[in-house]
Amino acid sequence: MYNGTKVLDIHAHVSAPSGNGMLVMGAMLASNTPVWADPRGSGLEARGFTEEAWAGRVKTHTDLLESHSIEAQLVGPRPFTMLGWMQPHIMKAWARFTNHMIAKQCEMEPTRFIGAAMLPQQPLADDLSHCIEELDYCRTELGFKGCYLSPDPAGDRSSPGMDQHYWDPVYEYCQKHGLPIIVHGTNCTDPRIRTIPQNYQIGFVIEQYLATQLLSHGDVFERFPELKVVVCHCGGALDRFIKTDKHLAQKDLSKNLYFDTCALDLNFLEAAIKQRTPANTLFGTETPGSGAAVRPETGLPGDDLVPVIGAMDFLSEDDKQAIFHGNAAHVCPGLAEIAA
């Protein structure tokens, strides 16, 4: 909580037993068989999906929320496990398994977590029509209030850009049902970056920034004027041009394109909020995620961002209230409802 206002976190990922299901994913890939679709199904206790294991993982997650002054999170898949190069029958089963893990976590703490769907994106398909069945299942059966999209599901930059009609079926569905789209980079198979540890993080930066540019310059929001898109990690990178430069899209995107605060370097985060504007910035931390390193100057984890943003003197009190609560409540009303 911040000054009596409940803090809403738009950027979070599922915390499940068994390495967030990666043993199951490995079994699917190794056998080329969609062996399980529900992490609560028979036979999975031996792989670590016991009620005790679930309780421990979720408690660890909620304890972190308590320590970070966060009331509620929109929880989606772990992006680096969204391997869009999987064969379609495996990808479909892995997406369903992941969504059931998200649903299980939300059921265990319904005032803390609301789900955002993983979709079985096929980069070689004509469009994303094949994702609508899973998206509709997650909305109507699991009660999810958003979805994740990888801007490059293939992982090799061969996927259609996010301004292309390939994405229209999901754009249309989300606009119709008021679901925000969370754009988050996923795996990256670029051989040049293989020596960098956790090199998918570099892919995040590139693909999220590219998605921001394509959504800005393209006509997506002319075709879908009520669509709301949140690009993670402040949009991946920042623009280097002044606002009047023709290299930037000279149009009003304030009702459609949003960014989270999931950047840990304070100089970058401050610049991002100023550039993206407080009105289009949503609080996001991905807690628990990659921000556990301790800030030497405070002794607090890097992803403990409420005191960091709360201390930014260039933000007005209204700005802070909007970032911590109001903007997310507008973009994802379901997140505010569970914290009410």
CB count, 10 Å around CB of 325? 23
Residue 83 has a pLDDT of 84
pLDDT per position as a tens digit, 102-111: 999 999 999 9
Residue 37 has a pLDDT of 67
Residue 46 has a pLDDT of 67
Residue 143 has a pLDDT of 98
Task: Name the β-bridge partners of 75.
Answer: 12, 115
% of the chain surpassing 90 pLDDT: 78
Residue 216 has a pLDDT of 97
Q: Which residue has the tokens 């995620």?
A: 289
120 within 8 A of 130, measured Cβ to Cβ: yes
When mean pLDDT is compared across 17-31, 258-272, 300-314, 323-337, the lowest value belongs to: 17-31
**With 70 as the cut, is the pLDDT of residue 290 above it?**
yes
Instruction: Write out the DSSP string of 44-87.
Output: -GGGT--HHHHHHHHHHHHHHHHHTT--EEEEE--GGG--TTS-
Question: In angstroms, rounded to a whole number, what is the distance separating the alpha carbons of residues 319 and 42?
Answer: 49
Question: Which residue in 336, 320, 307, 232 sits closest to 67, CA to CA?
Answer: 307
Question: Which residue in 322, 232, 339 sits closest to 11, CA to CA?
Answer: 232
Residue 179 has a pLDDT of 98
- Rounded to 5 degrees, φ, ψ at 106 are -65, -40
9 within 8 A of 305, measured Cβ to Cβ: no
Kindly report the pTM of this predicted structure.
Answer: 0.94
Single-letter amino acid, residue 306 = V
Dihedral sign for Cα 290, 292, 294, 299, please: positive
Q: Which residue has the tokens 């401050």?
A: 270
More confident of the two residues 332 and 82: 332
* 34 pLDDT tier (thresholds 50, 70, 90): confident
- Rounded to 5 degrees, φ, ψ at 206 are -65, -50
Structural domains in the chain?
8-339 (3.20.20.140)
59: CB partners within 8 A, 6+ apart: none
Mean residue pLDDT of the chain comes to 93
Residue 41 has a pLDDT of 63
Residue 147 has a pLDDT of 98
114: CB partners within 8 A, 6+ apart: 72, 73, 74, 75, 106, 143, 144, 145, 146, 332, 334, 335, 337, 338
In what side-by-side order are the strands of the sheet with 257-260? 147-149, 181-183, 229-231, 257-260, 281-282
Q: Which residue has the tokens 């956790």?
A: 198
* 40 pLDDT tier (thresholds 50, 70, 90): low
- E strand or H helix at 181, and its extent? strand 181-183
Q: What is the average pLDDT across 54-68?
A: 96
Residue 10 has a pLDDT of 98
Structure tokens at 319: 């700005």
324: CB partners within 8 A, 6+ apart: 2, 5, 7, 8, 283, 306, 309
Residue 18 has a pLDDT of 80
Q: What is the average pLDDT across 134-152?
A: 97
> Pairing relation of β-strands 181-183 and 147-149?
parallel
Q: Which residue has the tokens 């979070």?
A: 12
334: CB partners within 8 A, 6+ apart: 114, 145, 146
pLDDT per position as a tens digit, 186-229: 988 888 988 998 888 888 899 999 999 999 999 999 999 999 99
